[in-house]
Amino acid sequence: MSKTDNQEPESAQSRPATQDEQLLESPSPHDFTQTDTWRVFRIMGEFVEGFDDLAHVTRGVAIFGSARTRLDDAMYVAAQETAALLARAGFAVITGGGPGIMEAANRGAFEAGGVSVGCNIELPFEQKPNAYQTRSMTFKYFFVRKTMFVKYSNAFVIFPGGYGTLDELFEALTLIQTKKIRDFPVVLFGSEYWGGMLKWIREMLVGKKNVNEEDLRLLHMTDSPQQVVEIIQRSQDSLHTMRDGTTYDY
């Protein structure tokens, strides 16, 4: 085996460590107080800035989906229409601020004259802020950004996407199921894309009793932008009538 065969890929060697890698890396004894301690202040600063920038968002709806969705894709068109309808109904649209479905949602809200929030993330690839944001923030840490989505959203709308989209979906379901946050609508858009996953959840997770049957009701699935708005609006109407005194972590 040659020396080249033993080397890591050039891209892994040459790129600088991300903020998350630096945070999760075990520090050596001599640099703990010089690195991790100060990184805590940076994290605090991101939380403070995010809370300050989003303090006036009271009817937010987070829309997630693939950054790779093209302009001529039917899901791009559907996300744009869904966001426009939400904006006209008085909701603020919150996305990850990047291309693809995120751009489509920001664009729909922006062109409808609504509030279009982009919670951007620093990444070594793929993420570039789109041009349709009335309020834009950039985060270094995924967990800070994800807190903003949960804290300032009254619903999640999940369009077809990859690992990041699935991450947001299942984190929301976990927080709702464990009652760390109140039960808000989680809407899957695209029955062809999500139908197989729901079938697997029903047959395997529920079938093996790893998830309760009632937990399936945490998810809604639709192919209609108008129905997305109706589901979220019904939830808002019922929320206004709730007075159970329950407190949550977010």
Is residue 92 situated within a structural domain? yes
Backbone angles phi, psi at 122, to 5 degrees: -75, 120
Is residue 52 situated within a structural domain? no
Is residue 126 situated within a structural domain? yes
Rounded to whole angstroms, how far apart are CA atoms 154 and 181? 11
Question: At 208, which CATH number?
Answer: 3.40.50.450
Question: For 67-115, how does the pLDDT look when each residue is reduced to its tens digit (9 = 90+)?
Answer: 999 999 999 999 999 999 999 999 999 999 999 999 999 999 999 999 9
pLDDT at 3: 42
Is residue 12 situated within a structural domain? no
Global pTM reads 0.82
Q: Which of 9-18, 34-43, 127-136 has the lowest mean pLDDT?
A: 9-18
Is residue 157 situated within a structural domain? yes
Question: What is the domain extent for residue 202?
Answer: 58-239
Is residue 6 situated within a structural domain? no
Rounded to whole angstroms, how far apart are CA atoms 121 and 144? 10
Report CA 225 to chain centroid distance, whole Å: 19
Is residue 41 situated within a structural domain? no
Tally of domains within the chain: 1
- DSSP-derived secondary structure for 131-183: S--SEEEEES-HHHHHHHHHHT-SEEEE-S--HHHHHHHHHHHHHHHTTSS--
Bridge-based pairing of strands 92-95 and 116-121 is parallel
Yes or no: say if 95 and 117 are a contact pair by the CB < 8 Å rule: yes
Percent of the chain residues topping a pLDDT of 90? 72
Is residue 214 situated within a structural domain? yes
Q: Which residues contact 131 (CB under 8 A, 6 or more apart)?
A: none
